[in-house]
Amino acid sequence: MMRIACGVEYDGSPFYGFQRQKQEPTVQQCLEQAISEVANHDVTLICCGRTDTGVSAAMQVIHFDTVASRTPRQWLLGINSSLHKAISVLWVQPVSDDFHARFSAISRSYQYRISNRSVRPALNRHYLTWQRKPLNHVHMNEAIQCILGTHDFSAFRSSQCQSKQPIKTVSYAAVSRNRDQVVIDVTASGFLHHMIRNLAGTLMTIGKGEQPVSWMAEVLQSRDRKQAGMTAAANGLRFINVTYPEQFKLPIMDDYES
């Protein structure tokens, strides 16, 4: 039995999220079908982090176990030739048995993009949230700094979250602007269900001037989801990257920036 790791990117708009479920298609279902065809046996995969309906990924990492003997190039070409066009495998690499796509991960990074202009976006509309009211990204960036470090993120946790505990460690958090796009970037040890979307909704409330910068810290400390802003739409969210210990020698995101 051999363990294989893959880097995957996908456009989340055609899918009901990553995880296999009754509603189809899902990213996991499509990947498992394609991989099983190449392996000539049924394959079940593990991913580094599940994404919701409509959420895209620039570098999702998965692993699966197989008895099939294939070169990385054979896996890569074979899987991609059978995949849904909205999914691409970027690289394939054999890994040791102690590698686990989820539990070996050190950190994960998400990005939330907002089209901030008076006219709704036509280009890239599936990957942007539209906010017509002007957003003060400087105030949003100041507000988000309070989440750095280790905190209880219950105030930004969905009621459907299945995580055993709400404590996460955030190593990077920033809000920036590129012309009419406001971008929220967060890197953490892990994320709760809807955590980034709830953070984004809260930050946009501050950006519109409806709440002061200090409100972000008050919401975080309250540990009460009812105190935070609305859950922002899924289409602005993208899973950006995941990092692992150097011992696994996996390709880095910079080589596959999209």
DSSP structure string for 128-181: -EE--S---HHHHHHHHGGG-EEEE-GGG--TT---S--EEEEEEEEEEEETTE
User: What residues are annotated to the active site?
Assistant: 52
Residue 93, beta-bridge partner list: 5
Q: Which two tokens stand for residue 187?
A: 């890197």
**Token pair of 234 as six digits:** 């899924």
**Cα–Cα distance list, 58 to 39, 81, 86, 129, 238 (Å):** 25, 19, 12, 17, 7
- Tokens describing residue 171: 């190593």
| Amino acid residing at 229 | G
- C-alpha–C-alpha distance, residues 73 and 88, integer Å: 14
